[in-house]
Structure 1
Amino acid sequence: MQKDISPGGSQTRLNGVKKAPLIVLALLLLVAFVYVIQLTYKLSFSQTVQYKSVGLVQSDTIEELVEGMEVRQRIRLDEPVEGVGVMFATFGRSNIGAMRVEAIDLDSGEELYNKDIDVARLSDNALMKIAFSDGVKSKNFEIVVTGLSTQSGGAPTIWLSEKQFANSSLFIDGQEAEGTLVFETLTQTKTNTYGLFFNRMMILTIVFAFAGLHIVVDYRKIYDFIFRHRVLLSVLAILFCVVNKYHFSSITMFDAFIQTGEGSQYSKPILGIARAIRSDEWLVSTPSKMSAWFTDYAKFNPILRATDSYNISATGLYFSYAALASPMNWLYYFLGSEYGLSFNTSATLVLSFLFSFEMCYILGGKKDKLSALVGAALITFSGFFVWWSFISWILNAQAAAVFLYYFLHEEKTFLKVLHGFGAAIFGAAFVSALYPAWQVPVGFLFLIIIFWIFYDARSILKKYRLADVAMLAGVVLFFLSIVAVYLLEVRQYMTDIMTTVYPGKRVSYGGYALTKLYNYIPIMMTPFRPHPNPCEMATVINLFPLPIFLNIYMMIRSKKINGRALAMILLSLVFAYYCYTEMPPFLAKVLMLTYSTPFRLVDILAFIQIYLLVIFWSESKPDHELHFGIVLPVMIAVLGYAGYKTYELNRGFMEIRGITIIVVTMVVLFTLFMSKLRPGLKHLGAAGIILLCAATTMTVNPIVKGLDVMTTKPLSKGIQTIVEEDPSAKWIALDSLVDSGFLVANGAPTVNSVNTVPNMALWEKLDPEGQYNEVYNRYAHMMVSIEDGPTEPSLIQADLMTVKLSPSDLEKTGAKYLLSSSEKESTTYYQLECIYCEGGKYIYRVSYK
């Protein structure tokens, strides 16, 4: 047979060869999508657990559950149950290691439950579900908890009740002990979760559709389209989230503590898991913002602390001119808490990526979109950004600088005004954040950038007309007016907080924080492997000190000084000095670094390295790109040293194998991207870096729909009913840190909600001599218990205190209602009337004698 050697025949075979891998990829993607559908269906329609109290109240804990320790609790009930929930405590930390939990039927010897539990997954003071297998029920069984790989200082414990539960016994390391482990019985029911399934599949379908688009459309066309329409696509992404009430809060943590499994199906995340470590967000910030709705966003909020608190400082929500300083909160005022929270988190995420890209694109001289894209990913898909729940200065500072740049370069009046408005608003938002530990070093960085922006636009400024000058002056005056009004509104808060013991006026001269720069390797594992405190550990991929040397090399090679790079290098050296060792006090004060701390300033040092990398990547093309033979050994050296520091500083967290895999992966990807290779390989390296960053951070924060976990539980309806009838009555949440947050979110004025500033008027009544001033004169979570004896506050950690409140002093608090997880009794000082009892929660009305 004669071969077809015509051009058309040859092209047909070539097209067939090119299509074959795409068909395989399409089939693999389809198989993966079908698997995801099945898994999502299974997870969405799993059984819901509901707990029933048996009257056990936590009074003490066992010792830390260290390796080898064994706790046995024999339980005899009148009726068989499907399982129990045992209340663990974590000491307010994320512990490391594993424990084994077993349940054994004492009549048949059948094993009802056996699982090794990662202790980092435990929630503090919350029930851990022990559901018997295959729907088996038992009324005579034994719970066995054994420490497997837990060490002192990093192990959990179990709450004890001093009450001896009927016909039950407790053994610790083989010795019979007094009391009973705190437990509740559980039942499992199937609920309607079609909405949960639909929302999960809608998001996952979009993800798979975008991935599939790369198979049928040239990826260059896809990203060129995204670049040209990036602003519109950003708006649409935010709109999609807001319309569906999607947000990235860990607020569903409340379901682990309050009437677990009850309420709407959206009491669970759509995707991901809630993070207990983000308590500043889910326990403080979000409930506080919800409380502001009940005040119509007025100047004062009588719900927090059950006394007049300034909304602008306690919640960030005060509907006035000062509200212009918080653009991410604007939707709260018009559409309420659900849509407000959705806009706040989704807009912060989307706009942070957009403005990170724009800032990197501008710093790179608008020469290299790919380098700007990688830079944006290194910033926004970093452990630093996501573990701190989307740090506001990353958006505000960059957005202000980007808007200023486009304001100076724009010729159309309407767009010029719009850019000027954005520069003023986001500039004011940055200044008004009032967190100098980050603001001061970030301020230095962006002063350099702003100076360079004006210098770069010098030819444009020379042509400015009077109208242009007036418009620039108007932007500056608008910015100053917002800041001035905001500072006037918060001046009382600033005065109050500066006179506290904590945080007070902290002074630091630096030192001993430089090694945090190398945490970009272990932080990648924190979404998948528990760490005691991933927030404090988090940083960005920075390759320090390579970006400094690359830019020095670039300037020598090109025989040209790059002003913005040189200024950032000098700033990096000053910051590195401060982070490495203590500065002379005089120098630290002159540079205002005493307002920061080394463990906060080192975050900014790492951040600067990304800008330096982007500048080098952009400026080195096409004449000064490094050859593969140079880049590979340099990357091996830099990343190998980072791997060594990871092993040295995080041995209990990461093993050599895991460190090696990450280091090798990063060496390959950065070498491909940074070397002088053909475009396809560079694009592959860039895509790999972006995917690596996204894969190791995008699962940190959950996707949640609405605030049903706070508003649809039976307890929330009970609280709201009472608040509607008695709106000004004061409440106290007993024996819990979490319940106070739930109360304020439902509009109940709560004495022991988080004290952003101390309620000195209350403490003058409880401690007239000021004996415990060092304990309560601070920002603090407050856990209250009523106990015989004098009132005594105790400091557990810098921002946490417990208050043993004397029964005789309860009246001094003015509390009319008590929320408790256990039954309470009247005393000689007051009469209690139980007006709500459901799902392990009790509300008592107090009448004083």
Structure 2
Amino acid sequence: MNNRLSRSFARLPQPVGRMSHLSAAVRWDWRWCLLVALACVCYVGFALSPSSYAAGLEMLGQPVTGTILGSARGIRSDEWMVLTPYMQIAVENDFATANSISPYQESLRTFQALPLRDWALLFKPYHWGFIVAPPAYGYSFYFFFLAAAFIVGWALFVRKLGLSVWVSVPIAVALYFSQYVQAWWTTNAGAFALAPWVALAWMYSGNRLARIGLTAYAILVWLLSCAYPPFLYSIALAIGFLILGFRRDAIRVGTLFDATVAGSIALALFIGYFHELIDVMQQTVYPGRRIAASGGVGLERLLGHLAPTALINGYEPLPRFTNSNACEIAVLSTLLPLFAVCLADHRRFRAWMQDHRWSIFAILVGLGVFAAWMFLSVNPLIARVSGLYLVPPARALVGFGLLVNILAAAYLAIAGVRVSTVRALLLAGAAAGAVAVKYLLGDGSISGTFSRLDLVPLAAVVVVLGGMAIVHSANARTVLVCWVAAGANLAMFGLFNPVQVAHPIFNLDRELVRSTLLERGAVLDERGTLVAPGHYGALIAGAGISSINHVLYAPQLDFFRGYFGDMEPARFNEIFNRYAHVSVIEGSEPVLMAADSVGVPFGVMAGRMERALTPKPEPEQVALMSERPDVAADLANGHIDDMIIDQHGRFRLAGWSRTPPGAQSMIGLWSNAGMQDVLVKRVPRPDVAAAVSTALAHSGFIVEGFLEDPSADTELCVVGLASGAVDTTMVFPDGSRTCTHLGMLDKGESP
């Protein structure tokens, strides 16, 4: 067995590539296409998907069926509450460009691609399955197409950088099953999967007109799939640094000109398709005014790039990372960096580097740019000029992770793998050290710190070291290490998203949904529109029922003016001029519950009461503190989502607290300017309940009042109090904790 494996890999030719001494003998030919086609037949034939819509079935009172592996993830509510229902809406409207069933009559041309019968469908190949097959199969094809595009695209791109197919395929698999990609996959798949195809089209070495056409097509397909700038820009920047480092020969005046032409064509078509939506969204409060500031990402994320499970227990953050969740804690990590540090032949790499200093310099500059944006304070002017202001620092982790892992794979391929007792002990010690460090980061308990996922890196180390004893070919050992890293990610994060059959998603019993909601207290208004107390996202609309409860990609100001036309204009604009989940709540006033969540009063929407012009305050739930609060560093965080202060000192802030509401629970405020007429109102926060914890369903609050003598030096502090003691600290929109200076905030209209 030993000799057969060695002889098999020994047949590979000697060094041929720019970066790798591995063979290019295995090429992309009909056998690879046949393999992808066979996988497509199996996956789509059974109408499989990674959707967490089973959670939606439960909310709608439908039988929860079709989950084959894994379980629905509540944290993926942007998929099962928004994207998937919108695909149902497109099907219900026979792929028209407007939702004729909805009371909002909203356009279905959204920045997340939907299968619509318009000219843009030519640039949505992932949706072509809806044209020729029932919706469950079209939905399944959508996810299969993007998964295949990710693995094949990144494998081909890494191959273009100079690595062998033997290495590029496991790298692509490892990236696909990385924590970050899987945590964000189901609504951002297009941004991740289609990016390498833009680079591949641009690097096409044939006819220039063909290169321009292919690149323009690839760019537009990518932009239409998921027009979310943070991911698009972060990934594009990483690809740019990789090309600059390893394929400078592709960067010429002619190819740059071709890229400019192709980009201009794609951008013109994109703007032509979305010009109305772009005009509207630029004027919104959210996300139109959103500008990212640098810093705020914890340095512990670097540990996560060496030990993928170091920051999580199961898929959830360790208890010390209180202001986080399974998605926000994720990093794009594999075991490749750890293997490269412990097993690569560093002397061989240093010899290679003598002739390739520019390659390493370019990649290190790229890593430095991402690290500075995530961990440090960057001048806002530099952020504007560089475009980094488009990328919240936590979203830059995807670009940083791509650079780290592809560089680690290149390092292994260039240097090769050396085995010795010292190296084996170093690898085993590093794996054990990661376990020890994680215990220090945990809460002191085994069950609260470790899960079965932590066994996978340890098992991977055993497999690698055991494999080295069997495989003696240097080439084979490099391939072994890459595939072990890919297998480890599959074992750790392969079931973050479930395997869900799509048939139940598109075969809802509409009347059962309607009767279930009516039994729960929903009513029909005079137009027959359902008004259901609670937070349902777009689930009810996705079931084909006209509903006030919805998710609006674009504001519907005219619709809401019909109900709240006498509101003060600035406040009306602040609440409704945004992308928003529309929930139905108790009370008589609309409430901004989060940057993307609006609550509208049940009685008003159902036509059963007149709207009161002023909300009923709850003065007993606010405490004006005599001293600046002293807050422990490890105290749990709530959040101030929105804050407005006018020139007269009138302020209004909205947020949520981890201190549960109750008789002994208050919002504590302190300011060196003094305050008066301060009122607080508790509001439900179903969005926080879905994203953070179900215990926080009623964690929201709105505070209004006056500062007596406001100035740029005025400091305002907000905390959650339980029995008079500080129980929750708050993070402000500018990133400051507990207290903020008014000079750091933008002055707005009167609240």
Q: TM-score range by the shorter chain?
A: 0.5 to 0.7
Residue of structure 1 equivalent to 2:232: 439
Match of 1:237 among 39, 53, 59: 39
Offset of 1:579 from its aligned partner? 1.4
The correspondence for 1:328, drawn from 126, 137, 161, is 126
TM-superposition CA deviations, 1:119-168 (whole Å, max 9, x none) = xxxxxxxxxxxxxxxxxxxxxxxxxxxxxxxxxxxxxxxxxxxxxxxxxx
Among candidates 726, 748, 755, match of residue 545 of structure 2? 748
RMSD of equivalent CA atoms: 4.4
Sequence identity (%): 20
* CA drift at 1:238: 1.7
Aligned to 2:581: 781
Q: Contact 2:155 / 2:172 at 8 angstroms: preserved in 1?
A: yes
Q: Greater shift after overlay, 603-612 or 495-504?
A: 495-504
Q: 1:543 to 1:246 in 2, by over 3 A?
A: closer
In structure 1, the residue matched to 2:678 is none
Distance across 1 between alignment mates of 2:494 and 2:329? 17
Question: Match for 1:737: what amino acid?
Answer: H
- How big is each residue's C-alpha offset from its partner over 1:153-196, in whole Å with a ceiling of 9 and x where there is no partner? xxxxxxxxxxxxxxxxxxxxxxxxxxxxxxxxxxxxxxxxxxxx
Aligned-pair distance for 1:386?
A: 1.4
Instruction: Indicate yes or no: 2:99 matched with 1:301.
Output: yes
Partner of 1:184 in structure 2? none
Which letter maps to 2:94? D
What is the TM-score when the length of structure 2 is the normalising length?
Answer: 0.65
Q: CA deviation at 1:269?
A: 1.3
Note the C-alpha offset of 1:239: 2.9
Give the residue type in structure 2 aligned to 1:487. I
CA distance in 2, matches of 1:522, 1:234: 28
Mark the CA change 1:584 to 1:526 in structure 2 (over 3 Å): closer, same or farther.
closer
Query: CA offset at residue 342 of structure 1?
Result: 0.7
- Give, in angstroms, the shift of residue 382 of structure 1: 0.9
Who wins on radius of gyration, i.e. which is larger? 1
1:259, 1:713 within 8 Å by CA — same for their partners in 2?
Answer: no
Alignment pair present for 1:338 and 2:136: yes
User: Using a 3 Å threshold, how does the CA distance of structure 1 residues 454 and 607 change in structure 2: closer, same or farther?
Assistant: closer
CA distance, structure 1, for counterparts of residue 280 and residue 26 of structure 2? 52
How far 1:670 moved relative to its partner? Answer: 6.1
Does residue 222 of structure 2 align to residue 430 of structure 1? yes
TM, length-normalised to structure 1 = 0.58
Instruction: For 1:479 and 1:321, locate their aligned partners in 2 and report how far apart those are by CA, in whole Å.
Output: 19
CA contact (8 A) 1:517 1:542 kept: no
Separation in structure 2 between the aligned mates of residue 333 and residue 479 of structure 1, nearest angstrom: 28
Q: CA deviation at 1:593?
A: 1.2
Q: Which runs of 5 or more structure 1 residues have no equivalent in the other structure?
A: 1-13, 19-222, 720-725, 814-849
Q: Contact between 2:412 and 2:478, CA under 8 Å: does it hold in 1?
A: no
> For residue 781 of structure 1, what is the amino acid of its counterpart?
H
Tell whether 2:74 aligns with 1:270. no
Asked if 2 retains the 8 angstrom alpha-carbon contact of 1:794 and 1:801, the reply is yes
Q: Structure 1 CA distance, aligned partners of 2:609 and 2:221?
A: 40
Q: Is contact 1:386-1:697 (8 Å) kept?
A: yes
Confirm whether residue 376 of structure 1 aligns to residue 172 of structure 2.
Answer: yes
Aligned to 2:399: 604
Q: Which residue of the partner structure matches residue 557 of structure 1?
A: 351
Q: CA 1:491 to 1:669, structure 2 compared with 1: closer, same or farther past 3 Å?
A: farther
1:702 aligns with 2:498: yes
Aligned to 1:291: 89
1:810 alignment counterpart? 607
Q: Deviations over 1:185-239 (max 9, x none)?
A: xxxxxxxxxxxxxxxxxxxxxxxxxxxxxxxxxxxxxx97998712221122123
How far apart in 1 are the matches of 2:270 and 2:33?
29
- Residues 313 and 450, structure 2, Cα contact 8 Å, conserved in 1: no
Give the conservation status (yes or no) of the 8 Å contact 2:49–2:140.
Answer: yes
Q: Is the 8 A contact 2:44 2:137 kept in 1?
A: yes
Residues 808, 360 of structure 1: alpha-carbon distance in 2 compared, 3 angstrom cutoff? closer
Give the 5 Å matches for 1:154-233.
229-233=31-35
Alpha-carbon distance between aligned partners in 2 of 1:764 and 1:590, rounded to the nearest angstrom: 39
Alpha carbons of structure 1 residues 632 and 588: separation in structure 2 relative to 1, 3 Å: farther
Note if contact 2:530-2:547 (Cα within 8 Å) is conserved in structure 1.
Answer: yes
Letter in 1 for 2:529: W
Structure 1 residues 292, 600: closer, same or farther in 2, change over 3 A? same
> Cα offset for 1:288?
0.6
8 Å Cα contact 2:510/2:545 also seen in 1: no
The CA deviation at 1:275 is 1.6
**1:574/1:254 Cα in 2 relative to 1: closer, same or farther (>3 Å)?**
closer
The Cα shift of 1:299 comes to 3.2
Deviations 1:571-597 (A, max 9, x none): 101211221211122222222211111
CA contact (8 A) 2:310 2:435 kept: no
- SS of corresponding position for 1:537: coil
2-structure distance, mates of 1:603, 1:808: 42
Q: Find the partner of 1:762 among 555, 559, 582.
A: 559
Q: Which amino acid aligns with 1:799?
A: D
Counterpart among 616, 625, 632 of residue 411 in structure 2: 616
Matches of 2:128 and 2:266, distance apart in 1: 15
Distance 2:212 2:465 in 1: 40
1:98-137 to structure 2, matched below 5 A, reads none
- How far apart, CA to CA, are the structure 2 residues paired with 1:337 and 1:524? 40
Q: Which amino acid aligns with 2:52?
A: S
Q: Distance in 2 between matches of 1:256 and 1:692?
A: 32
Q: Within the alignment, does 1:348 sit opposite 2:155 as a pair?
A: no
SS of equivalent to 1:316: coil
Aligned equivalent of 2:363: 568
- Deviation string 1:234-292 (CA, Å, 9 cap, x unpaired) is 12212332233222211222232223438xxxx33133322221111111001111111
Report the counterpart of residue 44 of structure 1 in structure 2.
Answer: none
**Could you say what secondary structure the match of 2:590 adopts?**
strand
